[in-house]
Amino acid sequence: MKYVDEFRDGTLARGLGEAIARAADPARDYAFMEFCGGHTHAISRYGVIDLLPSNVRMIHGPGCPVCVLPVGRIDMAIRLAMEQAVTICTYGDCLRVPASDGLSLLKARARLDKSRADIRMVYSAADALALAQREPQREVVFLAIGFETTTPPTALVLQQARALGLKNFSVLCNHVLTPAAIVAILDHPEGKGVRLDGFIGPAHVSTVIGSRPYDFVAEHYRKPVVIAGFEPLDVMQSILMLVSQVNEGRHDIENEFSRAVTRDGNRKAQALVEAVFELRPQYEWRGLGSLPDSALRIRPEFAAWDAEARFGLDYAPVADHKSCECGTILRGEKRPADCKLFGTACTPETPMGSCMVSSEGACAAHFNYGRFRDIAVVAA
Amino acid sequence: MKAHYTRPLDLKQGRVDMNHGAGGRATAQLVAELFGRAFDNPWLAQGDDGAVLPAPTADEQLVMACDGHVVSPLFFPGGDIGSLAVHGTVNDLAVMGARPLYLSASFILEEGYPLADLKRIVDSMAAASRAAGVPVVTGDTKVVEQGKGDGVFITTTGVGARPAGRIASGARAAAGDVVLVSGSMGDHGMAILAVRESLAFDSAIQSDSAALHGLVDALYQALPADAVHVLRDPTRGGLATTLNEIARQSGLGMRIDEASIPVHPQVEAACELLGLDPLYLANEGKLIVICAASHADAALAALRDHPLGRQAARIGEVIADDHHFVQLRTPLGGMRMLDWLSGEPLPRIC
């Protein structure tokens, strides 16, 4: 496949792996966090770890939209469908996230009277809007989640809904901000938290926000960031760039994904988001807790299409299962296999925590692609 | 009594109504004018409650298999629910090493379904059954109220005869065996996905729906019967899930080379766009063969000599592994697991 296979080439990967091994100082080790679930997926899916020297450790970050969505937010959507007879539309992975009372959106769907309410998977915000237009008698709520990548499409449907004067469409907004999550990872109390030598910066998020918003990581926290694409060779190239920065004592914001990311990002998308959303003073993240100015809410001008305003919804925090380590795993403090529930009570079929749900989640990626590494396999 | 006293079935404008399933004249007419004509064979023409069939030869064993079909949409590039209902059950018999002999068909029709579409399905099913040489010898028709079905559901049961010595089974995989596939993976699953209304995109991807007993026969012609250790058709859950089933059954592991697995470039590209993995998509006309390493070349040659196996490839080997893991060497050069399908990538594909 043109423009894809080039970034998955085995010969180039071997060469890059050897270059990383030559560059890495055997007297020390390197701990890098790939912020995005997309990178976590690429690393696991292509077995990138096998091509890295043993003193370069990759730590999975919190950049998985489904993983950081707290139980209380899923509960809000379930209540809407079950009590207010609306049709919830959302992205596929969201449907399986465990919520309160042993429910998930998928399990709640099985209990609905489909003639009144429904819970449906959509591939885009536009599909939800189209459903509302096609079936004016149906009350449609788009459960919007995600980082800066999925925010502009949500902003667009909100503008379209207002322009069309749609009466049966609204958005339950859970859009969150990447820089705030990076701050939360770095701002841990002294002696706690994970030791990091640098970050692989987001790919798609950065196409929207540009590389400028990460400057504080270098300036304030003195950690290097290399923005990288989601293909395995992008990841390996960025690891080599991070190793070089660490060796040279630099902490710069570098851009490996220059074929798609600019310093300023997509200004048009930013303006669209700015017009529709404003900062939410507090938002609770799974694993990272309640963070100030870390998420977006819909501006009052769009209140008629804001499901929280329209249905008078209040957020009630719900504690995760007490043995669930999603929080520490999202902060990079523990690895999936360190969780007592991993692979026993918590599997992709019966997830206890959100990290086991999305293919971008650290636990799901390790379960589906990497768990054989936890056990010595007898060779043929 | 006058012949043709009742008006013939309106196969152009007519629709399935509740009478067609009531068991009275309307049912008899539907069976006679649609099913009877299409499937036309002496057993069905008897009009009894069942078919009386000759016993297989003394050294053969009977094999029976059943498959329900609920695919949506009913018509898709490369086939429809009718041809699929024949291929699905014929293939279940074929991978058991059996000669498929007879089929039964149970139709569950939804009130209001156009008879013209039903005729297209039945004609396609009859053509597939004739091409496979496996007649539909008995059947049943029921009608459910509108909204309680999805047009047409078809369940087929097949009976076949397995020659002595053909003892392939998932449990017979042995460490050191070679894993072969007969062609590209994921064509059926992606063909269905491409025409689903929520996702419809233009593509030339065709379902691979086909009867595999000829291919299986060609394999057994080329190899001693006991050298064929495992035969499977990787349907729902795709290659990945089927290999895991075999690993569990045999108590062994596998090591597969991803780069050697044939995937149609259009399927690969569509998967890339949709975030799917072709190794988890269904196939309806592909074979997995696991055989002793010493017979692997002969098996591969036999598969490639058959029209349904031109793209056959050797994709990996069976290894000793108490955890029954299927490991995959990625094109990048790393290793990962190829796990069971988890959840559902596509609804109602067969």
CATH code of residue B46: 3.30.1330.10
pLDDT of residue B196: 81
A-side interface with B, Cβ within 8 Å? 1, 4, 8-10, 13-14, 17, 44-51, 96, 122-123, 127, 232-233, 347-349, 359, 367-372, 375, 377-380
pLDDT of residue A189: 66
- B122 and B227 both lie in a single domain: no
Contacts of B227 (CB under 8 A, 6+ apart): B291, B292, B294, B295, B299
pLDDT of residue A378: 46
Work out the pLDDT band at B274, boundaries 50, 70, 90.
Answer: confident
- A297 and A159 both lie in a single domain: yes
- B145 and B198 both lie in a single domain: no
- For residue A12, give the amino acid letter: L
- Arithmetic mean of pLDDT, B200-210: 88
- B137 and B187 both lie in a single domain: no
Number of domains making up chain B: 2
Mind listing the pLDDT tens digit for each residue in B334-343? Answer: 999 999 987 6
- B194 and B218 both lie in a single domain: yes
Residue A158 lies in domain: 71-177+266-310
Question: Which of B250, B332, B342, B346 to substitute to test the interface with A, most A CBs within 10 Å?
Answer: B332
Residues B260, B148: contact at Cβ < 8 Å?
A: no
- Residues from chain B that touch A371, judged by Cβ atoms under 8 A, are 337
- A32 and A155 both lie in a single domain: no
Residue B110 CB-half CA count within 13 A? 14
Work out the pLDDT band at B350, boundaries 50, 70, 90.
Answer: low
Has residue A230 been placed in a domain? yes
Q: Determine the Cα–Cα distance for residues A301 and A296; give it in Å rounded to an integer.
A: 14
Report the SS3 class of residue B7: coil
Its pTM stands at 0.90
Q: Output the six-digit token pair for B21.
A: 């399933």
Option in A44, A96, A380 nearest B175 (CB):
A380
- A279 and A166 both lie in a single domain: yes
Q: Determine the Cα–Cα distance for residues A147 and A174; give it in Å rounded to an integer.
A: 9
Q: Determine the Cα–Cα distance for residues A178 and A229; give it in Å rounded to an integer.
A: 16
Mind listing the pLDDT tens digit for each residue in B223-256? Answer: 999 999 999 999 999 999 999 999 999 999 999 9
Of the candidates A73, A47, A74, which has an alpha carbon nearest to the alpha carbon of residue A58?
Answer: A47
pLDDT of residue B7: 86
- Residues from chain B that touch A9, judged by Cβ atoms under 8 A, are 331-332
- Residues from chain B that touch A122, judged by Cβ atoms under 8 A, are 198
Minimum distance, in Å, between the CA of residue A272 and any CA atom of chain B = 25
Q: Between β-strands B288-291 and B228-232, what pairing exists: parallel, antiparallel or unpaired?
A: antiparallel
Has residue B333 been placed in a domain? yes
Residue B259 lies in domain: 170-337
For A351-366, letters b (16+ CB in 10 Å) and e give bbbbbbbbbbbbbbbb
Of the candidates A60, A56, A71, A50, which has an alpha carbon nearest to the alpha carbon of residue A26?
Answer: A56
- B132 and B54 both lie in a single domain: yes
Option in B318, B319, B334 nearest A51 (CB):
B334
- B41 and B148 both lie in a single domain: yes
Has residue B346 been placed in a domain? no
Residue B296 belongs to a domain with what CATH number? 3.90.650.10
Assess whether pLDDT exceeds 80 at residue B113. Answer: yes
Residue A32 belongs to a domain with what CATH number? 3.40.50.11750
Minimum distance, in Å, between the CA of residue B268 and any CA atom of chain A = 8
Has residue A343 been placed in a domain? yes
Option in A46, A359, A378 nearest B330 (CB):
A46
Q: Determine the Cα–Cα distance for residues A89 and A153; give it in Å rounded to an integer.
A: 14
Has residue B11 been placed in a domain? no
Q: Please, what are the averages of pLDDT over each run of 10 residues along chain A (380 residues)?
A: 89 97 97 95 94 96 92 96 95 89 93 92 94 97 96 98 98 97 84 86 97 96 97 98 98 97 98 98 92 97 97 91 89 91 91 87 92 66
- B145 and B196 both lie in a single domain: no
HEC per residue, chain A: CCCCHHHHCHHHHHHHHHHHHHHCCCCCCEEEEEEEHHHHHHHHHCCHHHHCCCCEEEEEEEECCCCCCCHHHHHHHHHHHHHCCCEEEECHHHHHCCCHHHCCHHHHHHHCCCCCCEEEECCCHHHHHHHHHHCCCCCEEEEEEECCCCHHHHHHHHHHHHHHCCCCEEEEEEEECHHHHHHHHHCCCCCCCCCCCEEEECCHHHHHHCCHHHHHHHHCCCCCEEECCCCHHHHHHHHHHHHHHHHCCCCCEEECCCCCCCCCCCHHHHHHHHHHEEEEEEEEECCCEEEEEEEEEECHHHHHHEHHHHCCCCCCCCCCCCCCCHHHHHCCCCCHHHCCCECCCECCCCCCCHHHCCCCCHHHHHHHHHHHHHCCCCCC
- A190 and A171 both lie in a single domain: no
Widest CA span of chain A, in angstroms?
67
Option in B317, B320, B336 nearest A370 (CB):
B336
- B177 and B305 both lie in a single domain: yes
- Residues from chain A that touch B323, judged by Cβ atoms under 8 A, are 372, 375, 377
pLDDT of residue B241: 96
